[in-house]
A and B are shown apart, each in its own frame.
Chain A
Amino acid sequence: MTTCDLCDKPAIYHDVRIVNNVPNTVHLCKEHAIEAGIDIAQSDFSVVLKIQEQSKSPIKSCPDCGMTIPDYKKATLLGCPTCYETFSGELDGVIKRVQNNKSEHIGSCPNQLGESTQRELLIRNLLKELNEAVQTEAYEKAAVIRDQIKTLHEQKDD
């Protein structure tokens, strides 16, 4: 089954064109076809025309490494750190699927981070610990963690 060039869903629109003697294919799922402005009620021919119109604007590529979503789908690897910003919309679902619906890092971080990012990550870790302490009814521990979070928030406001 052919999947959409922009996500993992089955493609329902297919377009193959020859540009400079090179075959060029576009596969889109229903949602991305609609998002691309294609009227799905129209005839196949006009759909193809619309896709051609859409594809005149170049496929989005990473400004740092040139990676595109079709490239990613072939290699299943991103090209550089900037790809995660460039394709954040497209990758959101992929990341949630492979990471058990998680999308926020907790845990260790490198030493080169700025103070505010370090503080933000520390607060995130402490909030998780607070939640666990409350769930296990460890209220004294929870109070200590709550105070730590409060202090970190105050530092943020300074």
Chain B
Amino acid sequence: MIDPTHNQLFSSAEAPFGDVVLSSRARLARNLDGFPFVNKSSGDDCAEVTELLRKASIEVEDGISLDWIPIDELDELRAQLFVERHLVSSKLINNQYPRAVAIGKELIRSVMVNEEDHIRIQCIRPGLQLSAVFDDVYDLDKRLNESISYAFHKDLGYLTACPTNLGTGARFSVMVHLPGLKIVKDLGRIQNACKAMSLAIRGFQGEGSKALGDIYQVSNQVTLGYTEEELLSLIADQFLPPVIDWERKARMHIIETNAAELDDRIYRAIGTIKTARLLSLEEAMQCLGHIRLGIATNRINDIDINLVNQSFINIQPAHVKWHSDSQLPETDIPKVRCELIRELLHL
């Protein structure tokens, strides 16, 4: 069985542009030819699609090891761990009909079956690695397509349940850490850049979520009329270079003009984590964000940035339960989170 607390994904220190870009993700939406989309499918249709995908996933094996997990066989805590790691969506977990996920052992790749579309292939890697994650999902896509026919239209491309995913069905996204721009109150620049490039900007946990820890998720909105390479390039070559530059300059500006205030934020965050007895997710994420900023700007050097990256995920509610007690009452999570975060950061 997969170890849901595998931490390779969060080694941004060694990854390209890891000081600003936490992770890169690519996902492809596909549907099987000859079947209704999931929202109009019967239980039998869903079971048939699931079985076809199970067989196809086994055939994929060469070089890629995928664990096939029917969602109904997944206990609630493990399901939430995968949601918190963005390997499956809450929608997939909450759907009622037969559905499954195939997850790579290294927790980088996953294939959701019967989410909004029959197939959602995705891959996440640390830092700016959009080309690598695209190669990963494209490879899986082609391998699945050897035994499965996809619904496709010559003008509309890959047909998806929602018209917002038509064409390539490809969504690229990056998690960026922008505490510098937040402090200098210049996040409007990012929003304007996103608007001008038809990119969506969201919080840490996706649509409708807050930017906990000053972490933002940016992704392409348009999927039709551009090649996958163009969509990837829009984020990797057009959006990110100026954003990384702005964020680094904002950090430098703060050091030059108000280092004491910056240090105050960083050391208050460390102090809070060292001494707090109750930590909400929001406060803990904010502290981690400031500590990460301190490491990235060399104001502190005795905490490993990869441990901070891992902590962003490991202090989420299901992870707190996983590390302590699966029956832990919700009300005890803030208390246990304090102990866990100190342990994770060796504080």
> Which residues of A are at the interface with B, using a C-beta cutoff of 8 A?
64-67, 75-81, 84, 91, 94-95, 98-100, 102-113, 117, 120-121, 125
Q: B225 contacts which of A65, A78, A100, A108 (Cβ < 8 Å)? A: A100
Q: A78-B161, A79-B36, A107-B167 are in contact. Are A102 and B150 (CB under 8 A)?
A: no
Q: For residue B229, which residue of chain A has the nearest CB?
A: A107
- Enumerate chain A residues within 8 angstroms of B8, measured Cβ to Cβ: none
A80 and B229 CA atoms in complex are apart in Å by: 28
- Enumerate chain A residues within 8 angstroms of B156, measured Cβ to Cβ: 84, 95, 103, 105
A-B contact pairs, 7 of them (CB 8 A): A81-B33, A81-B151, A95-B156, A99-B224, A105-B153, A105-B155, A121-B154
- What is the total of A-B residue contacts with beta carbons within 8 Å? 116
- Enumerate chain A residues within 8 angstroms of B223, measured Cβ to Cβ: 99
Q: For residue A64, which residue of chain B has the nearest CB?
A: B36
B163 touches A99 (CB 8 A): yes
A110 touches B39 (CB 8 A): no
B106 CB, nearest partner CB in chain A, Å: 25
In the assembled complex, B116 has its CB within 8 A of some CB on chain A? yes
- Enumerate chain A residues within 8 angstroms of B17, measured Cβ to Cβ: none
Q: For residue B32, which residue of chain A has the nearest CB?
A: A81
A61 and B166 CA atoms in complex are apart in Å by: 21
Q: A95 contacts which of B37, B166, B170, B198 (Cβ < 8 Å)? A: B166
- Enumerate chain A residues within 8 angstroms of B198, measured Cβ to Cβ: 100
Q: For residue B150, which residue of chain A has the nearest CB?
A: A110
- Enumerate chain B residues within 8 angstroms of A76, measured Cβ to Cβ: 162
A98 touches B163 (CB 8 A): yes
- Enumerate chain B residues within 8 angstroms of A104, measured Cβ to Cβ: 155, 224-225
Apart from A79-B39, A105-B168: 4 A-B pairs, beta carbons within 8 A: A99-B222, A99-B223, A104-B224, A105-B167
Q: Is the interface of A mostly helix, strand, loop or mixed?
A: loop
B159 touches A67 (CB 8 A): no
Q: A107 contacts which of B145, B151, B157, B163 (Cβ < 8 Å)? A: B157
Q: Mark B180-213, 1 if CB is under 8 A from A, else 0.
A: 0000000000000000001000000000000000
- Enumerate chain A residues within 8 angstroms of B36, measured Cβ to Cβ: 64-65, 79-80
Q: For residue A112, which residue of chain B has the nearest CB?
A: B149
A3 and B201 CA atoms in complex are apart in Å by: 28
B162 CB, nearest partner CB in chain A, Å: 5
Q: A100-B225, A105-B225 are in contact. Are A113 and B167 (CB under 8 A)?
A: no
Q: For residue A128, which residue of chain B has the nearest CB?
A: B227
- Enumerate chain B residues within 8 angstroms of A125, measured Cβ to Cβ: 227
Q: Mark B39-75, 1 if CB is under 8 A from A, else 0.
A: 1100000000000000000000000000000000000
